[in-house]
Structure 1
Amino acid sequence: MKDVFSPLFIGFKFTNYINDDVDNFLKLYNRKIVAEHTKAVANECKIIAEKFGVDVQKAELAGLLHDISAVFSFDERLNISNNLGLEVLNEEKEFPLILHQKISAVMAQDIWNINDEHVLSAIGCHTTLQRNYSELDLVLFIADKIKWDQKGIPPYIEQVEEGLKISLEHAAYAYIKYIMENKENLKVIHPWLTEAYEDLNFKIN
């Protein structure tokens, strides 16, 4: 285990069940809301994956681990990313919250020995999506937006659900289109989000 992660796991008892490990780990660091969000996203991943013929087990796994780095505060994430040697974009320096997707992917591999490239990719871009996305990338991205971790109903939910009646790409496009039309509410516009939007727009339209 990497030095930057090992202090978090002093005294932590792993089980043979990753669902329990993730839940116990997040709650150990008082991330109860994240733990509940994680369960909801993992379950939504299974539902969406089954509907579109994507590997359900991989989808659930990606959902379970996508926010595992939430144990690090916003202020810590830039230093953690630098310590891990991750590429940090200017937008991520300005708004380090976004870095949690990249850190979670490293934690999934380093701590839970997840080496499936598709699972790690989905975790690593679940907030922003990315260019040349996979179906699993789309599944987690959409599930995370449907089961958001804020109060109330997501303002874009109807558009995303209508999109899901057609394809994964239509659902992802519906979400990003909403975000772009309301980008004054964003702290930053991540370049991966813009690139994914361009790809989706080209393929759909």
Structure 2
Amino acid sequence: MDSAELLRLHGCEHTGVHSRRVAAEAKSLAERFGSDPHAAMVAGYLHDISAIYPNDHRIAVARQLGIEILPQEEAFPMIIHQKLSREMAESLFDVSDPAILSAIECHTTLKANPSQMDLVLFVADKIEWDQAGTPPYLPRLQAGLAKSLEHAAYAYLSYMWEQRDKLRVLHPWLKDAYLWLSARL
């Protein structure tokens, strides 16, 4: 069974469409910035595979799998989907490439000192967001992308940092990524 079929069987067709778009964008970014296009596509297809678990079940599933749960994830379970998707990519789809697994695990928040693949998937996911309309941060992100993946990621993280008082939670990985890129750029 492939990821699209698993999502379809669980009524997550919208996530399947989003994942195909992220995979295509990740491949394009990987080619542009000298990363492995195939690995980027795999990460894109699997980054939201845990959508099969409703938000109100994710913490319980994470506990069953022995995944570390941060207080922010407990308060806002949607965010733990990145860790669940990483686990599913490894256990259900036999992904063993550490670069792919790392990128999946931090695709929503990023993290400090991200790898090239982390940045590729993170930026691709923000370009091909899963909401209606155009993302409000997209012009800033695209301007950053004209310089580098780091600048594109920082454009998004800066937007989120400016909104931090309105967020349900401020994930520590997002904060760490923002501060790390702030110091670097």
Q: TM-score range by the shorter chain?
A: over 0.9
How many angstroms does 1:185 deviate by? Answer: 3.0
Q: Tell me, yes or no, if structure 1 residue 165 matches structure 2 residue 131.
A: no
C-alpha distance in structure 1 between counterparts of 2:130 and 2:34, whole Å? 26
The residue aligned with 1:60 is 41
Indicate the SS of the match to 2:155. helix
Indicate the SS of the match to 1:166. coil
Q: Tell me, yes or no, if structure 1 residue 27 matches structure 2 residue 15.
A: no
User: CA RMSD of the aligned region, Å?
Assistant: 0.7
Letter in 2 for 1:178: Y
Correspondence for 1:112 among 67, 80, 93: 93
TM-score by length of 2: 0.98
C-alpha distance in structure 2 between counterparts of 1:105 and 1:189, whole Å? 21
Letter in 1 for 2:100: V
Correspondence for 2:172 among 181, 187, 191: 191
TM-score by length of 1: 0.89
How many angstroms does 1:182 deviate by? Answer: 1.6
Q: 1:89-144 CA distances to partner (integer Å, 9 max, x unpaired)?
A: 00000001001000000100101110010100000000000112101000000110
Count of aligned residue pairs for this structure pair: 185
The residue aligned with 1:131 is 112
4+ aligned runs moved over 3 Å, structure 1: none
How many angstroms does 1:184 deviate by? Answer: 3.1
C-alpha distance in structure 1 between counterparts of 2:146 and 2:110, whole Å? 20
**Gaps in structure 1 of 5+ consecutive residues:** 1-13, 15-20
Q: Tell me, yes or no, if structure 1 residue 149 matches structure 2 residue 149.
A: no
The residue aligned with 1:175 is 156
Letter in 1 for 2:51: A
C-alpha distance in structure 2 between counterparts of 1:197 and 1:181, whole Å? 11
Q: 1:48-80 CA distances to partner (integer Å, 9 max, x unpaired)?
A: 111100111110110000000000000000000
C-alpha distance in structure 2 between counterparts of 1:144 and 1:68, whole Å? 13
Instruction: Give the share of equivalent positions with the same residue, in percent.
Output: 48
Q: Tell me, yes or no, if structure 1 residue 83 matches structure 2 residue 64.
A: yes
Correspondence for 2:75 among 94, 108, 116: 94
Q: 1:8-54 CA distances to partner (integer Å, 9 max, x unpaired)?
A: xxxxxx3xxxxxx1111111111111011000000000111111001
The residue aligned with 2:102 is 121
C-alpha distance in structure 2 between counterparts of 1:115 and 1:23, whole Å? 20
